[in-house]
Amino acid sequence: MLILIAESKKMAACDSSVSGAEYNSHRPVFEKEASMIMDSLRDMNADTLLGKVKISLPMVRRLQQMIYEYPDKSHGDMAINAFTGVVFNAFRYATLSEEARMAACRRVKIISSLYGWLRPDDIIRQYRFDFTNPLAPEGATLASYWKEAVTSRLLQELADANHTDMLNLLPADAARCIDWKQIAQKARVWRADFREMLPAGATRTPNSNRLKTLRGQLLRQIIIENITRPEQLTSLAGDDYIAVGSDTSTGDIIFHTAP
């Protein structure tokens, strides 16, 4: 069962020393396309960039430095360590056993606004984009730019590993990088639907940070316990959630959690 997660906006500095041989063995699949995007932004002034990325001016200045430093491939970090947002902190990759880390690198893929498709051990540079940013050629959003390439890559991964099921842990903006109708023809797509329990049997979707934490915890449990089939998820219990059923019409696996 292949598992998809998304980048986080929060990233490490990605300034560890990297040898040429190391980079070549952990080169992102769509590095050429990512470099083209970064190159197109190199001569963009701060005001223009500010209008496209919708972040603060100090952050735009920092982004300009990231763009300038991007071509230096002698520095970087593995994607799974470079992203330091809530999902990744809850996953705690560095604390996994060697066997579990290897399993994560095989089974988990990261959807990225700059790189499109990342394996956990791909070496990347720091960036600060959003899937809705119109930074791709001809002013396209990064999500629409990556849709064809990422979908094709996902189909290839499913075929190469003979996966018939996949778990979608993506937020909505990252999910727009994929043509789900094409994927549904090759694999069953499952989603984790977390619901907080309220009085009188009512439920609600957890807030954003809580939802990200739960996704990271679930991912960790899946990797540690070597959960490879969706039916294993439907009877799963973690420290902060418990599976209570599934909706086969939508592919949702429902987890209850405390508010």
Q: Nearest to residue 105, comparing CAs of 152, 96, 151? A: 96
- Total Cβ atoms within 10 A of residue 14: 22
Write down the pLDDT at residue 200.
86
pLDDT tier at 4, thresholds 50, 70, 90: very high
Percent of the chain with pLDDT over 90: 97
Q: Nearest to residue 7, comparing CAs of 105, 81, 72? A: 81
Residues 25-76 pLDDT 10s: 999 999 999 999 999 999 999 999 999 998 999 999 999 999 999 999 999 9
Residues 168-201 pLDDT 10s: 999 999 999 999 999 999 999 999 999 999 998 8
User: If you average pLDDT over residues 109-136, what whole number do you get?
Assistant: 98
Domain that holds residue 155: 2-257
Tell me the pLDDT of the chain averaged across its residues: 97
Number of domains in the chain: 1
Write down the pLDDT at residue 75.
98
Write down the pLDDT at residue 65.
97
Percent of the chain with pLDDT over 70: 100
Q: Which residues contact 153 (CB under 8 A, 6 or more apart)?
A: 29, 30, 116, 117
Residues 190-234 pLDDT 10s: 999 999 999 988 999 999 999 999 999 999 999 999 999 999 999
Exposure string over 157-194, b if 16+ CB within 10 A, otherwise e: bbeeeebebbbbbbbebbbbbbeeeebeeebebbbbbb
SS3 of 18, please? coil
- For the chain, how many residues are written? 259
For residues 209, 82, 223 and 118, what is the CA-based torsion angle, rounded to 10 degrees? Answer: 110
Q: What angle do CA 100, 103, 105 make, to 5 degrees?
A: 115
Write down the pLDDT at residue 201.
85
Write down the pLDDT at residue 225.
98
Write down the pLDDT at residue 136.
95
* Helices of type H across the chain: 20-25, 31-41, 46-53, 57-69, 79-82, 86-91, 98-107, 142-160, 172-175, 180-184, 208-224, 230-233
User: If you average pLDDT over residues 18-30, what whole number do you get?
Assistant: 98
